[in-house]
Amino acid sequence: MLEIKNLQASVEEKPILKGLDLTINAGEVHAIMGPNGAGKSTLANVLAGQADYEVDGGSVSFHGEDLFELEIEERAAKGLFLSFQYPLEIPGVATMTFLKESINAQRKQRGENELSTPNFMKIVKEKAQQLNVTPEMLRRPLNVGFSGGEKKRNEILQMLLLEPSLCILDETDSGLDIDALRVVADGVNSLRSPDRAMLIITHYQRLLDYIKPDFVHILVDGKIVKSGGAELAHELERDGYKDIIASA
Amino acid sequence: MAAIKETVNTVAEIDLDNYKYGFTTDIEVDKAPKGLNEDIVRFISAKKDEPEWMLEWRLSAFRRWKKLEEPDWSSVHYPKIDFEDLYYYAAPKKKIELDSLDDLDPDILETYKKLGIPLKEQEILAGVKGASNIAVDAVFDSVSVVTTFKAKLAESGVIFCPISEAIREHPELVKKYLASVVPVGDNFYAALNSAVFTDGSFVYIPKGVRCPMELSTYFRINEPNTGQFERTLIIAEAGSHVSYLEGCTAPMRDENQLHAAVVEIVVMDDAEVKYSTVQNWYPGNSEGVGGVYNFVTKRADCIGKNSKVSWTQVETGSAITWKYPSCILRGDGSQGEFYSIAISNGYQQIDSGTKMIHLGKNTKSRIISKGISAGHSSNCYRGIVSTQRSATNVRNFTQCDSLLIGDKCSAHTIPYIEARNSSSTFEHEATTSKINDDVMFYCRQRGLNEEEAVAVIVNGFCKEVLQNLPMEFAVEAQKLVAISLEGSVG
Ligand SMILES: Nc1ncnc2c1ncn2[C@@H]1O[C@H](COP(=O)(O)OP(=O)(O)OP(=O)(O)O)[C@@H](O)[C@H]1O
Ligand SMILES: [Mg+2]
């Protein structure tokens, strides 16, 4: 589904990703861990198409297409979803309205009919309940005045609604309390399916206890220095980055 | 800021040329000769079958106008208008005193259909326009072509008719209130309007009556080189209530068209008038050619105690807008509100705002202005809040927010406060912001394209004002906001 080859990217002329390779197949869950500033969010943003990041080399194919040939919203409509490390606020736009606009914008791009309002409401209500997002939150302007944890739940709500084929989660667990972590993890797990893949960026083993990854990668200084199974995250939790970096 | 920069670079190629209402209608017209002199004033008056007193009134206004100078204090720039090079009267040739809609020239009916105006009462009743109950007066160039629901309104004593008809049928009301709020010599354009106004609406709501439906007028300029000078007079007797909406469009033409309207509202004790405008005159093309010059004087006089008037405007059209809907808060405890969304794109210039003149005690005013500038446009809020010495315990709240899209446009906020006593409270808030790159990226990551993202963000920015529009029009206004910003990004 996603094939990253020798990806190099920079921000303001400063190289961040320095030759990164990663292949993700449908049905797989990959976790990326790594020290602060290693380039994890950069990877997520480059994949999503954030214009501050310059792609200097390498290639990425997504569902067999050259990802960099696609506009940001085309990537989204083709199933790429990024749960932001720092979700944005949009004053005056009710969360519900924003959800409806996005789902219909994607459907329009794919040549599908817009969802009718009653139909949409039914789906939102169901998914919101699943994530403990209250009707009151849905009426409030998107993320404005939401707590850190509420914003993250709101990201996952959007993900459940949009049903992407590639879910990229950038530190979705940070800011969540213990109960919310479980709720969010359940939500994410409910999306696991043979034709969907996930790329989960996290610092902690905790989230991976709930969402079992098939692969764990360690990203240091813009490169994947080590890959392994779920046990690698445990090792990391126990030994920290030092040994891993040294042995890599 | 790379994304916005990219966006901005394409702003130059704004697609204003897709003005949705830009078609013209081929109908036979009856026109006055070009130019302006006393004979033209007489011609108009005669065409309107006016009584002698009205002709005299017009002639004195004309003489007054000759002595006045075009104002030059606003921020708008335009070549000098040649008032001799305009037509001051154009009317569809077919008989215009209609007994029923079926007599209306089918071409005009077709025009209004294209504009999405619910002219046919049956259609309205059948709920075509969101099952709304709206009486409509439609003004085509210089004449009112049809007023719907007249009979039903008459049952409750409400008069809603073309002003030309009111001059003939209700002279006592017209004589008493015409120019009582905007004196003939108030300003250059008001004087011009008084001399040559051709039509507009007249509304009278009797004492204690809640107008049973929304009233609305649609103005359409069709003929080239024709000025439209409409005159609207609304009188709300004690304890009455009315909500009125005007909508405006014009065809795409390379020449500039002139529109100089006067709207007067008189509000008695405890009465309430809500006046909403959706102004979408042709703004000119992407190079700034053509478009309507819109010089408008709108003013309400809250004569009565605890009376209330509320102006809500969505201004997306016109090459030039010069417009300051104002409230004279004369009655003790009266209230004035001004809610405005002004969107400029391409080479549009807007100089708009409000005046709140506090004369009575315990009077309140509230101003919410949202200006959005894109392209090469300029957008200026200009407002005055003033209180007289005797007007104690006055309160005003003003909020002016500007949103810039791109870096070739400009926004200015010029608020004046004149306080002549110390018991008054003024609050003023102003912000200027740009559409943020990160928010754009976020929206696009969710699947919205750039235009959809801008529309969503701008609608959020304008929310407080959109909420004040009558329900039936809020949705249309939202769409209009999106349409008028089309092409403002990538
Ligand atoms: N917009 C930007 N402008 C300047 N520098 C940036 C920008 N974005 C990222 N960087 C720099 O790039 C490097 C990688 O940042 P990135 O956000 O990808 O790290 P990360 O691995 O996600 O870290 P964390 O675990 O703290 O979230 C950092 O040194 C950061 O300061
Ligand atoms: Mg990060």
DSSP collapsed to 3 states, chain A: CEEEEEEEEEECCEEEEEEEEEEECCCCEEEEECCCCCCHHHHHHHHHCCCCEEEEEEEEEECCEEHHHCCHHHHHHCCEEEECCCCCCCCCCEHHHHHHHHHHHHHHHCCCCCCCHHHHHHHHHHHHHHCCCCHHHHHCECCCCCCHHHHHHHHHHHHHHHCCCEEEEECCCCCCCHHHHHHHHHHHHHHCCCCCEEEEECCCHHHHHHCCCCEEEEEECCEEEEEECCHHHHHHHHHHHHHHHHHC
For residue B407, which amino acid is it? D
Q: Do A91 and B6 touch (CB under 8 A)?
A: no
Average pLDDT of the segment spanning B213-242:
82
Q: What tokens does B104 get?
A: 């209306």
Q: How confident is the model at residue B285 (pLDDT cuts 50, 70, 90)?
A: confident
Closest by Cα among B95, B236, B220, B57 to B158:
B236
CA gap B465, B459 in Å, rounded: 10
Ligand nearest to the CA of A45: 1
Closest by Cα among A4, A11, A8, A166 to A75:
A166
* DSSP β-bridge partners for residue B216: B136, B245
Q: Write the CA distances from B64 to B38, B187, B427, integer angstroms.
A: 12, 10, 39
Given a cut of 70, is residue B107 above it in pLDDT? no
B4 CA: distance to closest CA in chain A (Å): 9
Q: How confident is the model at residue B136 (pLDDT cuts 50, 70, 90)?
A: low
Q: How confident is the model at residue B19 (pLDDT cuts 50, 70, 90)?
A: low
Q: Do B462 and A77 touch (CB under 8 A)?
A: no
Given a cut of 70, is residue B353 above it in pLDDT? yes
What pLDDT does B26 receive?
A: 55
Q: Do B460 and A73 touch (CB under 8 A)?
A: no
* Cβ neighbours of B341 (radius 10 Å): 29
Average pLDDT of the segment spanning B144-149:
62
A92 CA: distance to closest CA in chain B (Å): 4
In tens, the pLDDT along B84-96 reads 777 777 765 544 4
Q: How confident is the model at residue B259 (pLDDT cuts 50, 70, 90)?
A: confident
Closest by Cα among B143, B244, B268, B248 to B200:
B143
Say if A77 is an interface residue toward chain B (CB within 8 Å).
yes
What is the 3-state secondary structure of B77-108?
Answer: CCCCCCHHHCECCEEECCCCCCCCHHHCCHHH
pLDDT tens digits, chain A, 248 residues: what are they? 999 999 999 999 999 999 999 999 999 999 999 999 999 999 999 999 999 999 999 999 999 999 999 999 999 999 999 999 999 999 999 999 999 999 999 999 999 999 988 999 999 999 999 998 999 999 999 999 999 889 999 999 999 999 999 999 999 998 888 888 999 999 999 999 999 999 999 988 888 999 999 999 999 999 999 999 988 888 888 888 887 777 65
Given a cut of 90, is residue B367 above it in pLDDT? yes
Closest by Cα among B392, B456, B212, B358 to A91:
B456
Q: Which residues of B touch A76 (CB under 8 A)?
A: 444-447
What pLDDT does B487 receive?
A: 67
Average pLDDT of the segment spanning B189-215:
91
For residues B395 and B365, the answer to whether their CB atoms sit within 8 Å is yes
Q: Do A92 and B460 touch (CB under 8 A)?
A: yes
Provide the 8-state DSSP code for B33.
P
- Contact A42 CB / ligand 1 (< 6 Å): yes
Q: Do B445 and A49 touch (CB under 8 A)?
A: yes
- Averaged confidence pLDDT in chain B: 81
What pLDDT does B85 receive?
A: 79
* CA-A52 nearest atom, ligand 1: 1
Q: Which residues of A touch B443 (CB under 8 A)?
A: 90, 102
CA gap B343, A149 in Å, rounded: 36
Pairing of strands B214-220, B201-205: unpaired
Given a cut of 60, is residue B116 above it in pLDDT? no
Q: What tokens does B267 get?
A: 């509000």
Q: Write the CA distances from B447 to A50, A60, B2, B114, B456, integer angstroms.
A: 13, 20, 19, 31, 12
ipTM for the predicted complex comes to 0.96
Ligand nearest to the CA of A40: 1
Give the rounded distance of the alpha carbon of B382 from its chain centre: 16
For residues B346 and B285, the answer to whether their CB atoms sit within 8 Å is yes
A248 CA: distance to closest CA in chain B (Å): 35
3-state class (DSSP) for residue B399: strand
Q: Which of A92, A98, A105 sits opposite B461 (nearest CB)?
A: A92
B294 CB-contact burial (10 Å; exposed 0-12 / middle 13-18 / buried 19+): buried
Q: What tokens does B179 get?
A: 């120019």
Share of chain B above pLDDT 90, in %: 43
